[in-house]
Amino acid sequence: MKYLIIMQVDPAVLEQLTDDQQRQIQEGHGAFIAATKERGEFIAAQALADPSQSKVVRSSGGQPEVTDGPFVESKEFMGGFYLLDVEDEARAVELARQIPDANIPGLALELRPVMFADLGAG
């Protein structure tokens, strides 16, 4: 089954990392991608820009309106995600623990089962 592993990041935490830690994280993600690809569990990965780059389109009754947003109160935000196809939730959790962010206080990973997906290939 498909799982979205959402990387919750905090810019203040990322900024405190040393160059070495930063490199280890990058290499860790590279290794994670390679390993999940090799095992046939990888579907996609994306890193997202800062929420300050977001636009929100929503209707308040009339035509959809576009605003800057989404004005989250929390310091943490969705920094990116992995989309994986795994046997079960236990495997998804096991993989999430291997993502470098899992070992850095202040960062977190959120797992959500996927209910529908169209990956554009068909």
Partner 1 sequence: MIPAEPVGEGRWRELARQALARLLRSYGSAQFDLCEDAVQDALLQAYQQWPARFPDDPLGWLIATARRRYADRARSDARRRHRETRAALLQPPVAPEAVQRDDSLLVLQLCCHPDLPRSGQVALTLRAVAGLTTAQIANVYQVPERTIAQRITRAKRRLCELGRPLPPPGQADECVTAVLDVLYVMFAEAHHTTAGAPPRDADLAVEAIHLTRLLRRSVPESTEVTGLLALMLLTEARHPARVGPDGRLTSLDEQDRALWDRELIDEGIRLVEQATPGAEPGPYLLQACIAALHAEAPDIATTDWDEILALYRLLEIVTGHRNPTITLNRIVAQAMVDGIDVALARIDALEADHPGLPRLNAVRAHLLEQADRPDDAARAYRRAIAATVNLAEQHHLRHRLRRLSGAHA
Binding residues for partner 1, how many (CB under 8 A)? 21
Q: Does 30 bind partner 1 (CB under 8 A)?
A: yes
Closest distance of CB 49 from partner 1, Å: 4
Q: Which of 15, 40, 71, 105 binds partner 1 (CB under 8 A)?
A: 15
**What is residue 102's DSSP assignment?**
G
Looking at beta carbons only, is 11 or 108 nearer to partner 1? 11
Closest distance of CB 85 from partner 1, Å: 16
Q: Which of 1, 23, 35, 89 binds partner 1 (CB under 8 A)?
A: 23
Q: Which of 57, 90, 115, 121 binds partner 1 (CB under 8 A)?
A: 121
83: β partners: 4, 44
CA 107 to CA 28: how far, in whole Å? 15
Q: Which of residues 81-120 bind partner 1 (CB under 8 A)?
A: 119-120
Q: Are 9 and 107 in contact (CB under 8 A)?
A: yes
Q: Are 3 and 114 in contact (CB under 8 A)?
A: yes
Q: Which of 35, 47, 66, 114 binds partner 1 (CB under 8 A)?
A: 47
Please state the φ and ψ torsions of residue 95, each to the nearest 5 degrees: -70, -40
Give the helix, strand, coil percentages of the chain, each rounded to 5.
Answer: 35, 30, 35
Q: Does 73 bind partner 1 (CB under 8 A)?
A: no
